Amino acid sequence: MEPCVDGTLWMILTLIMTPLLNCNNFCPDICQCRSSGHIACSGHDAKDVLQQLTVHTYTLLLDKANMKILSERSLADKDLLLRFGLINSHLHTIHPLAFHAAPQLKSIKLTDNDLSTLPARVFSPLTVVEEIYLDGNQLEIIGPDMFEGLDGLLTLDLSRNKIRNLPSDIFHGLTNLIILNLGRNNIKKLPPTMFHSLTKLQMLRIYYNELEVLEAGIFDQLVNLKVLNLHHNQIKSLPPQVFWSLENLTDLTLSSNHLKDVPHKSFYNMPKLKKLTIYSNPLSSLPDDLMGHMPNITQFYLYDTKLPTVPGNLFANMSGLLELNLHLNDKLRYLPPDLFCCLPNLRKLSLRNNTLQDLHPNLFHTLTTLDILLLNDNKLKTLPEKIFQNLTLLVTINLKNNNLNTLPGDIFLSNTALKALSLSGNPWNCNCAIRGIAKWIRQNEHVVLDKDDVICHSPLYNLLRSLQSLPDDEFNFCDEKGKTSFFLTETNTYKHTQTPQYSSVTPTKKSTTLANTIVSSQSDEAPTVSHIFHDILVVEQGPAYVHHNIHNGWVYVWFLPSVSALVGSIMFCYILLLAMGLMLILGAIYGMYRLSTVMDKLKAECAHEEEHAVLSGLVHT
């Protein structure tokens, strides 16, 4: 019995090892035999590889094989070949009977070749084929019976060709198809019944085409569809309820089209939706009842539109949203107060690069989980004192490049987790109102990332100073002003001219304490009684104060108009004087140097003459 057992074992080992030995023996130098019967070659002549293949090869992948024609004998005698790939090999012709020699093929990959036409019914012998990849060719026309009889096909890729039109029944019979890729072609129109037989389709990609319309009912039978990509087309309008049958859809992209409006309830009946993009459309308005129940969406992008505002309930059904990008809308000026009411999990909110001018005090009231808030590059003039009050987890706030003149001193008081605040690019007015936020910046320098660029734009005496450099004692006069001050608040009562202006103050009674009546030189109104006139005179938002003096019972207050041209001239003269002074100092230093050099030379000559005279006297002696 033992010899018989040994012989059986040797026979089994021989049968197992033979394919491995054959593969290793006939694997070309630049090919790789990853496993028994799996060969991948790159840059090798396809004819040589095909001639060396063994009967046991079941996968053959050829890349850059320079095989221009697939003949009727190219795949002959390859009875076990199941997967055939010819990629980037300049293939331009397929013989009508090329696949008759290998009807057992389950996968054909002819990607990135030069195919411009296909023989009629060339794939008909492949009754068990599951994958056909024809992407990256030059195909313009696909025959109506090209895929007839291929009811086992699961994946069909026709992307990156030049297809303009497709027959309405080209996909009929492909009842098991799961993935269909028509992206990056020149398709302008799709027949309304084209996809009706694809009841098991899960992914449909029609991106980067020239579609102008979607026919009503075109997606009605795609009840199992999960991914629908329609971005980068020329779609101008959507039929009502065109997506309503897609109850299993998780991914819908409509960005970069020509949509100006969207029908109401367009995105209803899609409770499994995780991704929705409608950005880069010239949308001018959105209906109130646009979004249905979408609790699984985590990211939403709505930018590059013409929207002046958005419905207050736009995000109400997106409770799972983690990141909201509502930015780069150059006409977006107003946001409803309750817009972010129902986003309990939101972590990032981007409102940058819009034209927002003001924000409702309770706009962010419910965003208690927010980490990042981007408000930069808007037109914000002011912010409510408690707008960030509930955002205790906020780490980043960007307020750069707005029109902010000041901020309440305690606006960031509740943002204890704040680590990155940006405030530069705003025209800060460093008068009394800036005192609180300037103090906060000094105490939180590590938080303000651009603190050196947060600079004063007015008044003139603080021009170009950083807010962090303003000590608190500079604002002591604000306290004095609050008690007894005389001040002017309206700038429009002054006419800026090139001649000095004055305001006169008339005493109401003679005493050591002067009570005054303020009279504007440009006003015809009756004098009004002011508080006691002290040594400190504060003028807000008016011309710069020069001096005052008392003459014959009148107090004359002289002002210099705040004209930008005059200020520029004064600054130029100031800089010129500084330059001239510096030149004079350098000239004086140079003159002293020259004088010292000459004096040293004269001393040396005198010493030399004295020495010579002494020597001469010694000689005579």
How far lies 579's CA from each of 81, 239, 516, 569, in Å? 88, 73, 45, 15
How far lies 311's CA from each of 81, 287, 291, in Å? 59, 7, 11
What are the pLDDT digits (tens) for 148-195? 999 999 999 999 999 999 999 999 999 999 999 999 999 999 999 999
- Asked if 531 and 484 touch (Cβ cutoff 8 Å), the reply is yes
Number of helical (H) and strand (E) elements in the chain, helices listed first? 5, 27
- Asked if 498 and 543 touch (Cβ cutoff 8 Å), the reply is no
- Asked if 493 and 503 touch (Cβ cutoff 8 Å), the reply is no
Average pLDDT over residues 53-81: 87
Please indicate, yes or no, whether residues 345 and 448 belong to a single structural domain of this protein: yes
∠ at Cα 210 (206, 214), nearest 5°? 65
Please indicate, yes or no, whether residues 535 and 570 belong to a single structural domain of this protein: no
What are the pLDDT digits (tens) for 544-602? 444 455 555 565 555 555 555 566 777 788 888 889 988 999 999 998 988 888 888 88
Please indicate, yes or no, whether residues 333 and 451 belong to a single structural domain of this protein: yes
How far lies 347's CA from each of 392, 399, 414, in Å? 12, 18, 17
> In terms of pLDDT, which residue wins out, 41 or 349?
349
Q: Is the pLDDT of residue 280 over 70?
A: yes
Residue 178 falls inside a structural domain: no
Residue 255 falls inside a structural domain: no
Confidence of residue 620 (pLDDT cuts 50, 70, 90): low
User: Cα 247 to the chain's mean position, in Å?
Assistant: 31
* Largest Cα–Cα separation, the chain: 145
User: Cα 554 to the chain's mean position, in Å?
Assistant: 63
Angstrom distance (rounded) from CA 259 to CA 305: 10
Q: In this structure, which amino acid lies at residue 516? A: N
pLDDT at site 536: 47
Averaged pLDDT score across all residues of the chain: 84
Region of residue 100 (left: phi > 0; alpha: psi -120 to 50; beta: else): alpha
- Asked if 328 and 353 touch (Cβ cutoff 8 Å), the reply is yes
pLDDT at site 502: 37
The contacts of residue 17 (CB under 8 Å, 6+ apart) are none
pLDDT at site 26: 56
Per the listing, tokens 């807010």 go with 467
Please indicate, yes or no, whether residues 489 and 505 belong to a single structural domain of this protein: yes
Q: Is the pLDDT of residue 489 over 50?
A: no
Can you name the residues that pair with 420 across neighbouring β-strands?
A: 396
pLDDT at site 496: 38
Q: How long, in residues, is the chain?
A: 621
Please indicate, yes or no, whether residues 544 and 590 belong to a single structural domain of this protein: no
Residue 358 falls inside a structural domain: yes
Residue 612 falls inside a structural domain: no
- Asked if 420 and 444 touch (Cβ cutoff 8 Å), the reply is no
Please indicate, yes or no, whether residues 359 and 395 belong to a single structural domain of this protein: yes
What are the pLDDT digits (tens) for 72-115? 998 888 888 999 999 999 999 999 999 999 999 999 999 999 99
Angstrom distance (rounded) from CA 6 to CA 14: 12
Residue 204 falls inside a structural domain: no
Both tokens of 380, joined, read 């914000």
Residue 228 falls inside a structural domain: no
Please indicate, yes or no, whether residues 321 and 425 belong to a single structural domain of this protein: yes
Please indicate, yes or no, whether residues 307 and 388 belong to a single structural domain of this protein: yes
Which residue among 422, 448, 470 closes a domain?
Answer: 470
pTM exceeds 0.85, yes or no:
no
Angstrom distance (rounded) from CA 373 to CA 350: 6
pLDDT at site 531: 40
pLDDT at site 567: 64
Enter the DSSP assignment of 474: G
Q: In this structure, which amino acid lies at residue 180? A: L
Residue 399 falls inside a structural domain: yes
Q: 3-state SS of the chain: helix, strand, coil percent to 5?
A: 20, 15, 65
Closest CA to 178 of 160, 196, 152: 152
Please indicate, yes or no, whether residues 396 and 519 belong to a single structural domain of this protein: no
Residue 163 falls inside a structural domain: no
DSSP string, 60-109: EEEES----EE-TTTTTT-TT--EEEEESS---EE-TTTTTT-TT--EEE
Distance, first Cα to last Cα, the chain: 145
pLDDT at site 478: 84
When divided into structural domains, the chain yields a total of 3
Closest CA to 399 of 436, 351, 446: 351
Please indicate, yes or no, whether residues 390 and 308 belong to a single structural domain of this protein: yes
Please, what sign has the CA dihedral across residues 174, 180, 184, 189? positive
Domain residues for 421?
298-470
What are the pLDDT digits (tens) for 233-252? 999 999 999 999 999 999 99
pLDDT at site 3: 46
Please indicate, yes or no, whether residues 526 and 383 belong to a single structural domain of this protein: no
Which residue among 542, 560, 578 closes a domain?
Answer: 560
SS3 state of residue 604: helix
Please indicate, yes or no, whether residues 462 and 333 belong to a single structural domain of this protein: yes
SS3 state of residue 410: coil
Q: Is the pLDDT of residue 529 over 60?
A: no
Extended strands (E) in 459-565: 501-507, 516-520, 528-529, 544-551, 554-560
% the chain with pLDDT above 90: 64
Angstrom distance (rounded) from CA 18 to CA 118: 39
Which residue among 454, 470, 486 closes a domain?
Answer: 470
pLDDT at site 571: 79
What are the pLDDT digits (tens) for 498-522? 333 333 333 333 333 333 333 333 3
